[in-house]
Chains A and B, each alone.
Chain A
Amino acid sequence: GQQVQQSPASLVLQEGENAELQCNFSTSLNSMQWFYQRPGGSLVSLFYNPSGTKQSGRLTSTTVIKERRSSLHISSSQTTDSGTYLCAMDSGGNYKPTFGKGTSLVVHP
């Protein structure tokens, strides 16, 4: 079945540093989505990006289908970026969105 490997599991940065989060998937890709999970548990959709590159402010998502990977880049990190980042993907065949295990990001002032 489809598997999603998310890395790193955790990341600690000083404010102002950049972060690169990765998601690798084992099957063909139909959709890829990046989320930020608030401390209370709710999910905020950052990007719906099944292919190519999308940017929103300091966040950039790049999905390369042939290489079966997607990345989330955070530039000039801020303390408010701290939290858990999750990717979710599904392959076209079984249409079951599968989550990675998340990256826990801590940004120190």
Chain B
Amino acid sequence: GALVYQYPRRTICKSGTSMRMECQAVGFQATSVAWYRQSPQKTFELIALSTVNSAIKYEQNFTQEKFPISHPNLSFSSMTVLNAYLEDRGLYLCGAREGLGNTGQLYFGEGSKLTVL
């Protein structure tokens, strides 16, 4: 079956340092990967959408300079939170989708929880 592994599960970092998280698709080809952040208030924000062979599209309030994403092949994506501060804390989730076009279900990893001290 289709699985997405995300790691690390949780990280505690000092304010101003960075955290890198990785997303591995198993059993399918992740042609697109969506990175989300779930705030402590529980709302999901889309950070960016990465599609193989296309430019990564960042949502308003999120930038490549702050959240650089790599999607080098159909099974792997990574995102870094640079210079993390208190407002960056939350649960970061990657959702991967296979197939071309805009169809298909999203498979999610277990999330990477970021705590900033």
Residues of A in contact, count (CB < 8 Å) = 23
Residues A33-57 near B (CB distance < 8 A): 33, 35, 40-43, 45, 48, 50
- What 1/0 mask marks residues of chain B from 28 to 56 whose CB sits below 8 Å from any chain A CB? 00001010101000111010010000000
Residue A73 interfacial (CB < 8 Å): no
Q: Complex formed: what's the CA distance from A41 to B44 in Å? A: 12
Interface string of A88-104 (1 = CB under 8 A from B): 10101001111101100
Asked if A70 is an interface residue, CB under 8 A from chain B, the answer is no
Q: Which residue on chain A has the smallest CB distance to residue B44?
A: A99
Choose among A33, A48, A84, A90 the residue that contacts B102 (Cβ–Cβ < 8 A).
A90
Q: When chains A and B are docked, how far (Å) is the Cα of A34 from the Cα of B49? A: 20
CB-CB under 8 A from B103, the residues of chain A are 30-31, 50
In the complex, the chain A residue whose C-beta lies closest to that of B38 is: A41
B46 & A98 in contact (Cβ 8 Å cutoff): yes
| Docked-complex contact B111 and A31, CB < 8 angstroms | no
> Other than the known A41-B38, A96-B49, A102-B42, what 9 A-B pairs have Cβ atoms closer than 8 Å?
A33-B105, A40-B110, A40-B111, A41-B91, A42-B109, A48-B105, A84-B42, A96-B34, A97-B106
- The 5 sampled A-B contact pairs (Cβ below 8 Å) are A31-B104, A42-B109, A43-B111, A97-B106, A99-B43
